[in-house]
Amino acid sequence: MAQINNIKPLTFTVRRRTPELIVPAKPTPQELKPLSDLDESQVSRVQVSSIYFYRGDQKMRNKNPASVIREALSKLLVFYYPFAGRLKEGPKGKLMVDCSGQGVMFIEAEADVTLDQFGYPLLPPFPCLDELLYDVPGSSSILDSPLLLMQVTRLLNGDFVFAQRLNHTMGDAKGITQFNLALGEIARGASTPSILPVWQRDFLCTRDPPRITCTHHAFDEVVGAGENFIPQKDMAYRTFFFGPNEMSNIRKLVPSHLKNCSTFDVLTAYLWHCRTIALQPDPKDNMRIIFPVDARSKLKSFIPVGYYGNVVGIAAATSTAEELTNKPLSHALELVMKAKFDVTEEYMRSQTDFMVIKDRPQFTIVGGFIVTDLTRAEMNIVDLGWGKPAYGGPVAGAMYFTSGYLPFVNNKGESGTAVAICLPIAAMEKFVEEMNSILAQDNNNQDYNLPVLSIL
């Protein structure tokens, strides 16, 4: 795997206009819309941010991207009018959207920097992020605050940055991408989105009576102390690229009966295995892998096209550190594949009921490794009139317990997956060493060429 050096020392000045509220271009229904029980889990009661970098386009040289997006947003809110409302809490903590038409928070800004100055590769973490997505005072609460905040920052040479922050209860990655693709369609001249939004959050509410019929390891109750706090100065942050050659070499370690595994399956198993070895936990410690699964394909019987709420199954698997460390890669791979396979319609029903019965628990992070696969989320194809972004995706790449998978094309033109990893410094060195040693193993009397660890 190639290591990507994406630490970019860069400073620049951003000048912002006064934040404003963008309201729907036409009158919209004034009503209360309850969220689904899946929407209002603690996992979703957070703000999530994404960012899109666009290069200037000669044919758009007379267009102000902030003006184009502002106008398109107002028109789009006629269709997605709940986003212009505010979240309220009803009896027993039930969340609902007050479709008041108060508007989405919008900021126009400009900065004295070009897109090229952000360097290569264009991946998180991004410099001066707080300037590119300004946290307007009083706007970040889950309740009674704008459900969307957007900032359009014009750069030099016609480049610009479109950044947004979303109240996660309103939708998942697929849902917000649906919104952004529609925003692009309106910005490019369409009068209506090609996919009309569907609310109908009652699709994912609890059964009567609610009942837990599946095991949900992501929320296991663990007795004992949590993970020790590790100061930021003792952490290392690196991003690795897994292209065709790297994945081919890893797949050579997969036994024949598991050859139908996906790239996500084998990469996740590989990272979980290597990370566990690097952290050197007690052999008897339970380690867990947790990852969201877009369950729309599992729920076609009642999830219509256009539904933009949260439809995420939380898959999880556990293993002792001793097993993950000493057994071959196939052990972790089988666990990952089974966890993903287990996300069925019944699993989703059980998970929804579980959230209510257990009073909306958080993930269990003790011994946990949470990975989010955004390689197919289509965030990198959002066209606002200036073509596809040079980067479109989350603003952050990884924290100690989490990693994100992003689509990436390296400087050789190879398409693959960029994976951000954050670990204690000593563990990071061990992690890299272990990844390389696995790929260098002799398997079935065949030697494998070790990919050169290099800076792109």
Residues designated catalytic: 168, 383
Rg of the chain taking only CA atoms, in angstroms: 23
Tell me which residue of 284, 274, 290 sits closest to 322, measured CA to CA: 284
CA distance 288 to 217: 8
The answer to whether 218 and 290 are in contact (CB under 8 A) is: yes
Q: Cis omega before residue 125 (within 30°)?
A: yes
Strand segments, DSSP code E, in 311-431 are 312-320, 368-373, 391-394, 398-399, 402-409, 415-424
CA distance 24 to 5: 43
- 333 burial via Cβ count (<10 Å: 0-12, 13-18, 19+): buried
The answer to whether 311 and 173 are in contact (CB under 8 A) is: no
Tell me which residue of 77, 76, 64, 84 sits closest to 153, measured CA to CA: 64
Q: Which residues pair with 422 in a beta bridge?
A: 237
- Helix or strand holding residue 284 (H, E): none
- Helix or strand holding residue 324 (H, E): helix 321-326
Phi–psi pair at 195, nearest 5 degrees: -115, 115
Torsion sign (Cα): 168, 381, 413, 132? negative
The answer to whether 206 and 94 are in contact (CB under 8 A) is: no
Q: Which residues pair with 292 in a beta bridge?
A: 314
Dig out the tokens for 224 from the structure: 């004992």
The answer to whether 439 and 448 are in contact (CB under 8 A) is: yes
DSSP state of 189: T
CA atoms within 13 A on the CB side of 386: 26
Q: Order of strands across the sheet with 95-98?
A: 32-34, 95-98, 86-89
CA distance 406 to 402: 13
Q: How many CB atoms lie within 10 A of CB 27?
A: 10
- Helix or strand holding residue 340 (H, E): helix 329-341
